[in-house]
Amino acid sequence: MRICIFCSANADIDPDFFSFTRSLGEHLAHEGHTVVFGGCDMGLMRCLAESVTGAGGEVVGVVPRIVEDGGGESPLLTRIISCCDLNDRKAIMMEESDAFLVLPGGIGTLDELFTVAASSTIGYHNKPIVVYNIKGFWSSLVALLDDMQARGMIRGDWRQYLRIVDRLELLDAVLRDPSGFGKNA
């Protein structure tokens, strides 16, 4: 599969997030998956590219022109797709990917998550979106979504679009059977 990963470009974060990202990247490469990501050479993005390519995997970077012009793209990219801006990048990432995986991140990661989630809710795609809740990082987001749903702000069950996992086995299960994605495990 081509798995798009959204994650932090910051380096000054919990070191456990780097350890997890390193293990995840190696695992995905060993499973034969191609990783699609923002292509930056910073933070978890850098760690991801290093771990995937170090394990013999392929990484596709979808890099906005402003990042390229500043020399911020990863030198480890197997393939680079240049784009105009962040909106263009998200559209290309959706087109290039079979599934989405969200690791810890900030405003940009939230923007990417909700763009692919909103696109799914109105039928642009039916690809799995998996939020990896490492060390409870996304627990407050889960609580917010539950509250929004309870207040009637979300039609249906938001879990039919987003799968929250906290173990690699659950991630693998979603990737093995994306057709069963809408069913909660």
Which pLDDT does position 50 carry in this prediction?
Answer: 98
- pTM, full prediction: 0.92
Which two three-digit tokens encode residue 107?
Answer: 């405003």
Which pLDDT does position 170 carry in this prediction?
Answer: 76
* pLDDT for residue 184 is more than 70: no
8 A C-beta contact, residue 77 and residue 59 = yes
Which pLDDT does position 171 carry in this prediction?
Answer: 78
Which pLDDT does position 173 carry in this prediction?
Answer: 79
Which pLDDT does position 69 carry in this prediction?
Answer: 87
Q: Helix, strand, or coil here: 22?
A: helix
Q: Which residues contact 106 (CB under 8 A, 6 or more apart)?
A: 8, 10
Mean pLDDT over 165-180 rounds to 76
pLDDT class for 176, splitting at 50, 70, 90? Answer: confident
Q: For the chain, what percent of residues have pLDDT higher than 70?
A: 96
* pLDDT for residue 180 is more than 70: no
121 burial class (0-12, 13-18, 19+ CB within 10 angstroms)? middle
* pLDDT for residue 174 is more than 90: no
**Mean pLDDT across the chain:** 92
pLDDT tens for 57-114 read: 999 999 999 998 888 899 999 999 999 999 999 999 999 999 999 999 999 999 999 9
Least confident of 20-29, 72-81, 121-130, 163-172: 163-172
Which pLDDT does position 68 carry in this prediction?
Answer: 86
| 8-state DSSP, 42 | S
